[in-house]
């Protein structure tokens, strides 16, 4: 795997020595500057609905969480937010929601994507318009294809864990790992820039599991990675299971760095969960090799109801921009910032 052996990776992941972490981050930062450059690209995140038909054991949006106030943004509101993002120089957005069984939701999203694409193309001298990432869970092949035809070109579907026993310990039996893998392959087949990822520090997750996750990312030849620490939510059953053995924050930094070193040309997100779990999460995530940040554009009036985990923190766009430049990176505005990996594999 890359130039680091499996044994070396295990040694790094098992080590509690701050010097080991320091050296790892330095190596990842060097590798990132050489291969992915010093730019950090923004994806304006619009969490357009918190309705969900699934029951993931870790997530506050799960269907059985009856206490959560549900919301769904209207088409015009989503388009307005997207166009505002475009005018401010974010040339990519990500539309995210819970997962729905209702095919009408896909019809709705197809319309939204098509209109955003048309309007932003008209407003763009290069006629490229906004880059649109979707993250709405598992759909059928034809549904992914319709969204692609409407103008979406990236998709984020975290595998959550590719290790069968771990996946099964955090999902009800109706949610199947094979199905999720099939979805990832469908997305790649259609032509999407495909992103996946996992949660780190899940109860019972071990170093051996993480080494297998790293192998999975490489095997699936992914273009983008969105991973972050697991943070419990009081209304989700996994919060009742004993934590550990891994430290979610430090292990996330190590995994980001190992991913940058072994997959130098992919795009990697410094996730909101990473920013939420520690005050220096964003900066450390960038130093570990992340080159994407997703400022939350969801309107404040509903934002708190997109309650995936406790203590979700939001940083304003200006604060994010200041932090990004203060650690020596350059904001990549007015461009899509596609993963070099995708460009190489889809010339
Ligand atoms: N419903 C879609 C997208 C929205 S959920 C889907 O599941 O793919 C987005 C991500 O939030 C999930 O992929 C999961 O990794 C993350 N998430 C959910 N609950 C979390 C928790 N308790 N801690 C950390 N991340 C969580
Ligand atoms: Fe729904 Fe996604 Fe949360 Fe699972 S992780 S309950 S699919 S929003």
Residue 290 clears pLDDT 60, i.e. is over it? yes
Placement of tokens 């999407």 in the chain: 192
pLDDT band at residue 1 under the 50/70/90 scheme: very low
Say whether 168 sits in a helix, a strand or coil: helix
Q: Evaluate: CB of 59 within 6 angstroms of ligand 2.
A: yes
Q: What is the pLDDT of residue 336?
A: 86
The pLDDT mean for the chain works out to 94
Residue whose Cα lies nearest atom 6 of ligand 2: it is 62
Q: Evaluate: CB of 144 within 6 angstroms of ligand 1.
A: no
Q: What is the pLDDT of residue 347?
A: 76
Q: What is the pLDDT of residue 226?
A: 96
Number of helices (H), then strands (E), in the chain: 14, 12
Looking at the CA of residue 157, tell me the nearest atom of ligand 1.
8
Average pLDDT over residues 167-190: 98
Q: Evaluate: CB of 96 within 6 angstroms of ligand 1.
A: yes
Q: Which ligand has the nearest atom to the CA of 137?
A: 1
Q: What is the pLDDT of residue 62?
A: 98
Q: Which ligand has the nearest atom to the CA of 238?
A: 1
Average pLDDT over residues 43-72: 97
pLDDT band at residue 339 under the 50/70/90 scheme: confident
Q: What is the pLDDT of residue 244?
A: 86
pLDDT band at residue 311 under the 50/70/90 scheme: confident
Looking at the CA of residue 98, tell me the nearest atom of ligand 2.
8
Q: What is the pLDDT of residue 337?
A: 86
- With helix as H, strand as E and coil as C, how does 76-110 read? HHHHHHHHHHHHCCCCEEEEEECCCCCHHHHHHHH
Looking at the CA of residue 58, tell me the nearest atom of ligand 1.
22
Check residue 311 and give left, alpha or beta (phi > 0: left; psi -120 to 50: alpha): left
More confident residue, 100 or 304: 100
Q: Are 153 and 192 within 8 A, CB to CB?
A: yes
Q: What is the pLDDT of residue 8?
A: 96
- Cβ within 8 Å of residue 30, ≥6 positions away: none
Residue 149 clears pLDDT 70, i.e. is over it? yes
Q: Evaluate: CB of 60 within 6 angstroms of ligand 2.
A: no
Q: How many CA atoms lie within 13 A of 62 on its CB side?
A: 19
Which class is 6-345 in CATH? alpha beta
Residue whose Cα lies nearest atom 2 of ligand 2: it is 98
Question: Cis omega (within 30 of 0) on the bond before 245?
Answer: yes
Residue 215, Cα to own-chain centre: how many angstroms?
A: 18
pLDDT band at residue 268 under the 50/70/90 scheme: very high
Placement of tokens 């969480």 in the chain: 65
Q: Evaluate: CB of 29 within 6 angstroms of ligand 2.
A: no
Using one digit for the tens of pLDDT, what is the confidence trace for 65-122? 999 999 999 999 999 999 999 988 888 999 999 999 999 999 999 999 999 999 999 9
Check residue 229 and give left, alpha or beta (phi > 0: left; psi -120 to 50: alpha): beta
Burial class (CB in 10 A: 0-12, 13-18, 19+), 67: exposed
Question: Domain limits of the chain?
Answer: 6-345
Using one digit for the tens of pLDDT, what is the confidence trace for 235-258? 999 999 999 899 999 999 999 999
Q: What is the pLDDT of residue 231?
A: 96
Q: Which of the listed residues 158, 201, 224 should we mutate to test ligand 1's pocket, taking the one with most ligand atoms within 8 A of CB?
A: 158
**Does the pTM of the predicted model rise above 0.85?**
yes
Looking at the CA of residue 232, tell me the nearest atom of ligand 1.
22
For ligand 2, the distance from its centroid to the CA atom of residue 49, given in whole angstroms, is 11
Q: Which ligand has the nearest atom to the CA of 48?
A: 1
Give the separation between CA 281 and CA 194, rounded to whole angstroms.
Answer: 24
Using one digit for the tens of pLDDT, what is the confidence trace for 203-230? 999 999 999 999 999 999 999 999 999 9
């Amino acid at each position: 795997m890359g130039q680091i052996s499996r044994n070396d990776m295990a040694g790094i992941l098992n080590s509690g020595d701050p010097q080991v972490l320091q050296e790892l981050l330095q190596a990842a930062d060097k590798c990132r500057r050489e291969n992915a450059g010093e730019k950090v690209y923004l994806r304006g995140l619009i969490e357009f609905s918190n309705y969900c038909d699934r029951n993931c054991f870790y997530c506050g949006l799960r269907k059985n969480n009856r206490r959560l106030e549900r919301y769904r943004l209207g088409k015009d509101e989503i388009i307005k937010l997207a166009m505002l993002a475009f005018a401010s120089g974010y040339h990519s957005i990500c539309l995210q929601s819970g997962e729905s069984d209702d095919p009408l939701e896909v019809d709705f999203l197809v319309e939204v994507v098509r209109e955003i694409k048309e309007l932003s193309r008209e407003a763009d001298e290069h006629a490229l318009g906004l880059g649109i990432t979707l993250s709405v869970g598992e759909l059928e092949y034809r549904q992914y294809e319709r969204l692609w035809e409407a103008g979406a070109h990236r998709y984020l579907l975290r595998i959550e864990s590719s290790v069968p026993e771990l996946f099964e310990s955090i999902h009800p039996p109706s949610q199947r790992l094979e199905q999720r893998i099939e979805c990832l392959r469908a997305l790649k087949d259609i032509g999407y820039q495909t992103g996946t990822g996992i949660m780190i520090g899940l109860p019972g997750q071990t170093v051996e599991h993480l080494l297998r996750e790293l192998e999975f990312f490489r095997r699936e030849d992914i273009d983008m990675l969105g991973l972050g620490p697991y943070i419990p939510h009081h209304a989700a059953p996994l919060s009742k299971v004993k934590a550990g053995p891994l430290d979610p924050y430090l292990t996330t930094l190590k995994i980001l760095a190992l991913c940058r070193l072994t997959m130098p040309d992919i795009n990697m997100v410094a996730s909101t969960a990473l920013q939420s779990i520690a005050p220096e999460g964003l900066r450390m995530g960038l130093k570990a090799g992340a080159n994407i940040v997703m400022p939350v554009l969801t309107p404040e009036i509903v934002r708190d109801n997109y309650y995936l985990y406790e203590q979700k923190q939001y940083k304003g766009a200006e604060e994010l921009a200041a932090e990004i430049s203060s650690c020596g990176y350059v904001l990549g505005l007015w461009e899509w910032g596609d993963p070099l990996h995708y460009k190489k594999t889809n010339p």
